Amino acid sequence: MSIDSPEDLAGLKAAGAVVAATLKECRRAVRAGITTADLDAVAGRVFARMGARSGPQLTYDFPGVICISVNDQVVHGVPGSRRLRDGDIVKVDVTAELNGYYSDACITVPVGRVKPASGRLAAASQAALLKGIDAARAGAPRNAIGAAVEAEVTKRGFHVIRELTGHGIGRGLHEKPDVLNWCDPLDDEPLTEGLVITIEPMISAGSTELEELEDGWTLVTQDGARSAHFEHTLVIRRDQPALVLTA
């Protein structure tokens, strides 16, 4: 959506605050020994307390409150009986709906002590997200975001998973336009003031080919390589950095 009233902005900010609070509590809860279902329950309690609902559940009938993807699992991991182990990296992807407004963000969290390579992988996704946010200004071509993201990821020796993208968001979870993590020369429409989008670099330390697990949701890297993912929801502005709603 594109924001065109103070009510829209207030509604989106409130939804973004739910996502930020949920990620904060989930990050605190991450430790070796808990199950991904335990982590999902943490998110469920925050949503209940704040009067929010799960975007994935509402929109796609997803079998969880949030998506929790471990190690080689890239996105859409289904919460369940898997226990987090020391050295894992876990992607906590939270989409909340509050009063008809949607907001979406993801963090990659280390479990205990992780190998340096996993730390670098997570740092690369986070740095690429910040570069993308900085490029996301009214008047700039849409593909400036992906160009900035992919340059950072490649510089750090990792690979963008091109088939997964950010997206418009606001009145629904997934809206137009797609927000690529690479530079498609044809995707050069100027960004407009007030447009609400996510930026979310999903990156791999190895193969960027994906496979779906038997659960019908979870996407993993074909070669078992680890992946990292950070995401924010933001509002495009003119002559100033985008307003991040999920910080």
**Other beta carbons within 10 Å of 202:** 29
Contact in structure between 198 and 216 (CB atoms under 8 Å): no
Q: Does 72 bind Co ion (CB under 5 A)?
A: no
**Other beta carbons within 10 Å of 212:** 11
Q: Which is nearer to ligand MF3, 100 or 157 (CB)?
A: 100
Distance of CA 182 to the CA centre of its chain: 16
Q: Does 47 bind ligand MF3 (CB under 6 A)?
A: no
Closest distance of CB 213 from ligand MF3, Å:
13
User: Applying CB under 6 A, which part among 4-12, 60-68, 152-160, 218-226 lies near ligand MF3?
Assistant: 60-68
Contact in structure between 99 and 107 (CB atoms under 8 Å): no
Q: Does 97 bind Co ion (CB under 5 A)?
A: no
Residues in region 148-187 near Co ion by CB under 5 A: none
Distances (CA, A) of 82 to 33, 38, 90, 169, 213: 9, 10, 12, 30, 14
Q: Which residues pair with 7 in a beta bridge?
A: none
Q: Does 88 bind Co ion (CB under 5 A)?
A: no
Gap between the Cα atoms of 29 and 122, Å rounded: 19
Among 72, 88, 93, 97, binds Co ion (CB under 5 A): 93
The token pair at 190 is 């100027």
Amino acid in position 174: H
For ligand MF3, what does the binding mask look like between residues 134 and 173, x meaning CB under 6 A? Answer: ----------------------------------------
For ligand MF3, what does the binding mask look like between residues 99 and 138, x meaning CB under 6 A? Answer: -----x----------------------------------
Q: Enumerate binding residues for ligand MF3 (CB under 6 A).
A: 56, 60, 62, 67, 76, 93, 95, 104, 200, 231
